Structure formats: C-alpha cells, structure tokens
C-alpha cells in the first residue's frame, strides 16, 4: 500500500528534486517538509566498480546520503552476481551503504526469462523483482540496460502506473567505447547499447551528472524531452580550506614534473596525455619527471601500464607510476614533487580529486566541457581550461613550463 501522507505528485517528484538540487544552495529541509515528502526509493545498481576502472562507490554513496538526509527510505538492488570480492561485492556494498540503505542481491525469478543474452536476462530478473515490491521511485543505473523491461512495461501501460521510474545516466556502454576509440564488436554489445537507450527514453525522468553526457545523448539521437531531464549538481563542493592547512604554492612556479591522474585507459585520456608528452619531448629536460597516478586498466590486449611503457621510449626523461594512493595522498605526493597535473579525461573529472588538488595547492589544467567548470567562476574556469587537440594542449603546457602556472 502506498503511503497516505502528501500529494502523489509531491511524493513522487520529491526524491528526484532532492537528488538533483544543489543542497548547498538553499537552507536545510525542515522535518515537516521531510515528513510530507518521504518516499520509498529503490536504486538498481549495475556493477559499481566496472572494468573501466572507475570506482562508483563514492558516487552512489553520495546520492544515497543526499536522499537519506531528506528523509527518504532507500533500498538497493545489487546486480553484481559474479561472486567477486572487492568494493562492489555484497560485503563491500554493506560496508559502504548500510547506514543509508537496505541491500538486496538480485534473485532468480520464479518464471524464467529470456536466455542467450546476459543483459536482457538481467533486465527481466530486475523487472520480476521490482514489480513485486512497493516503491514510489526507482532509479536504474543505465549501464547494462537493467531498467529495460520495467520502463517498457510502464511505456505500454501494463505496470508501474503509480511508480516513478528514473534513468541515472552515468556510464553508457557506447559512450565508454567511443572514449576508448572502440566500436561494438558483437551482437551482445549492440543489444546492450539498445537496452540502455530505450531504458532512458521510456523513463519518467533522466538524471545525468554533467552537460557532457547530455550533449553526447543528443548527438546519439536519444529521444529525451528537455522537461524530463535533470542535471546532477556537484556532490562535493571543492573547498580550498578542506584538509590540513597547506603552505601556499608561489604563483607562476615553473613545474618540475607533469602528471596524469585517473584510470589508465583511453577514455580517461591516457592516449591523449601520451600524445602530448611526445609532442613536448624535445622541450623536456632530462631531470624532469612524468607521473602516472591512478590504477591500471587491462582491456583486450595489453593494459594501461604496458601502453605507457611503449610510449615512454619517445621521452627523454623518466616516468613513474604511482598507484594505491587515495585522492588526498596523491595530491600531497604531487605537491611535494612540484608537478603540474593535466586532467585530460574524455569523461567527467571526479570532483573529489579536484577538491584534493585545490586543498593541497597543486596546480592543474583540465580539458573538456564536463561539468567541473560549475564550481569555479567563469574567469577561473578559463584560467585552468585546456583545449581539446594534442598540439593545442602541448602549446599550452609548453607555455606553463617556461612561465609557470599558479594553483587554481
């Protein structure tokens, strides 16, 4: 039975607006307002530490915290069923989210669903489980298309007439492939891309983390009316006063090193960074250093560290791979090394990393229209923005090597 308090419209839209409103822009929500709008909200999560190397635990953890702080009851349907160990397994989820959410592993349905395609089977299992529950709002992580049958049933008017279905677009498969300069190579991959697109198109609302994905979806001709789309504001507001007090880095200090930060794959800018380094090779002194701070990603063929080793033969100075450090440790290490960080990801730049760079006064330059500019004023964003092409980035970095660059 649905909850009786509050109007249906307020009940159903409150979790969407709670999630997509910058909680720092207005005052706190009162207990009375929370009580009037509290809803039962379910998140259907794909694997949250995907092969792309991006750990989504912090991303979803912040979403759950935001909703729980506004009084909503949160459940999580965990789609990971490979029995693996690590942050994305059942124990890891409970450690990360138990304060905010009840977690349920995806069960087998009573009535068998389609066979022969993993994502279609998973979407059917999801449909069978969700329709047996009583949620006011359901968010589907769009990656993998788990919301396909639920949104199809709603589209056809056969189920979920009293439930708001929301697509949370964070990491579409085809978008990831394009960033890695790949194309779908199998029927399963093409089917997965189709399930994801239709899940978003048939959802009541589409929530996305930045304009870079809105632009991409429009370019791929996803049929998404503007009034159904909500952009997620930064979940962390970068703060120059967070963490331990840091000695101010002198303005326009010439860097002693250049650094790449992020997973070692093409979508996160590894190839672009290496192309820039090769263009700068004749300008780099032998006592200069190049750092790669992140985690190795191994796809078909060789992994990121092997790719770095192959490209490094073109550079006159040594490189070092820095792994197994959190954002704060990485920023502190790069500050001590006198590094200028180049954020050249084809995806969004994680705001916690930007926050750490700001807190430790590490100078950085960042490329792309990926939403991070919203945390700076226009002039400041222009100061740290990089162009998109390797030769243009190389020219900007060449100027910074001679004249220096101030921290943001």
At residue 18, the pLDDT reads 58
Each residue's pLDDT tens digit, 312-346: 999 999 999 998 778 889 999 999 999 999 988 76
Check residues 103 and 159 and name the one with the higher pLDDT.
Answer: 159
pLDDT at 383 over 60: yes
> Could you tell me the pLDDT band of residue 32, with boundaries at 50, 70 and 90?
very low
At residue 346, the pLDDT reads 67
CB 94 within 8 A of CB 103: yes
pLDDT at 52 over 80: no
At residue 347, the pLDDT reads 62
Check residues 190 and 408 and name the one with the higher pLDDT.
Answer: 190
At residue 250, the pLDDT reads 56
At residue 297, the pLDDT reads 80
pTM of the model: 0.67
């Amino acid at each position: 039975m649905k909850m009786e308090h509050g109007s249906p419209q307020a009940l159903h839209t409150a979790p969407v607006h709670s999630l997509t409103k910058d909680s720092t822009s207005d005052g706190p929500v009162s207990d009375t307002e929370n009580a009037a709008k509290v809803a039962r909200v379910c998140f259907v999560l794909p694997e949250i530490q995907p092969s792309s190397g991006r750990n989504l635990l912090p991303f979803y953890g912040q979403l759950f915290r935001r909703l729980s702080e506004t009084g909503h009851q949160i459940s999580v349907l965990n789609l990971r069923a490979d029995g693996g160990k690590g942050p994305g397994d059942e124990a890891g989820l409970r450690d990360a989210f138990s304060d905010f959410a009840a977690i349920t592993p995806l069960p087998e349905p009573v009535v068998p669903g389609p066979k022969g395609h993993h994502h279609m089977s998973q979407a059917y299992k999801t449909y069978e489980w969700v329709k047996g529950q009583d949620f006011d709002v359901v968010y589907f992580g769009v990656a993998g298309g788990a919301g396909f049958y639920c949104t199809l049933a709603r589209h056809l008017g056969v189920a979920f007439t009293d439930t708001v279905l929301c697509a949370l677009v964070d990491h579409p498969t085809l978008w990831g492939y394009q960033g890695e300069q790949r194309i779908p190579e199998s029927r399963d991959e093409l089917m997965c891309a189709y399930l994801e697109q239709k899940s978003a198109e048939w959802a009541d609302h589409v929530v996305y983390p930045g304009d870079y994905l809105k632009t991409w979806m429009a370019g791929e001709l996803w049929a998404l009316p503007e009034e159904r789309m909500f952009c997620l504001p930064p979940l962390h507001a970068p703060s120059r006063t967070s963490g331990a007090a840091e000695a101010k880095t002198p303005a326009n200090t010439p860097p002693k090193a250049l650094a790449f930060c992020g997973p070692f794959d093409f979508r996160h800018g590894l190839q672009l960074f290496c192309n820039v380094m090769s263009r700068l090779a004749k300008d780099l002194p032998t006592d200069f250093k190049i750092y790669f701070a992140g985690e190795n990603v191994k796809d078909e063929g060789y992994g990121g560290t092997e790719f770095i080793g192959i490209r490094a033969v073109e550079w006159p100075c040594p490189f070092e791979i820095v792994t197994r450090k959190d954002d704060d440790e990485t920023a502190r290490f790069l500050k001590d090394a006198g590094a200028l960080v180049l954020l050249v990801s084809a995806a969004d730049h994680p705001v916690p990393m930007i926050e750490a760079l700001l807190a430790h006064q590490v100078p950085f330059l960042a490329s792309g229209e990926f939403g991070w500019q919203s945390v700076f004023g226009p002039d400041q964003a222009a100061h740290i923005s990089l162009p998109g092409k390797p030769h243009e980035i190389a020219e900007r970095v060449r100027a910074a090597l001679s004249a220096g660059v101030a921290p943001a």
